[in-house]
Structures are given as structure tokens and as C-alpha cells.
Amino acid sequence: TIDYRIQQALKQLRIELKDYLPLLLPLLVKNV
């Protein structure tokens, strides 16, 4: 179903965000 695909996509996004968060965090802090 579409719901299942959305769940899978969100899981993948979360995994990728975990990898990129340490790199993005300093940029976000600087911008604020």
C-alpha cells in the first residue's frame, strides 16, 4: 500500500539524517 511505502521512505530518511546530522548541525547553529 501507499502507507507502507511512506513508512519505508521515512525510515530511510531517518537513517540518512542520522548520518548527516553531525555535519548539518554546525551549519544550522551558525545560521541561527
| pLDDT at residue number 30 | 83
- 25 secondary structure, DSSP code: H
What is the pLDDT, as a whole number, of residue 11?
Answer: 94
Residue 24, pLDDT score: 82
- pLDDT for 17 equals 83
Each residue's pLDDT expressed in tens, for the chain with a length of 32 residues: 899 999 999 999 898 888 888 888 888 788 77
Ordered DSSP codes for 1-32: -HHHHHHHHHHHHHHHHHHHHHHHHHHHHHH-
Q: What is the pTM of this model?
A: 0.49
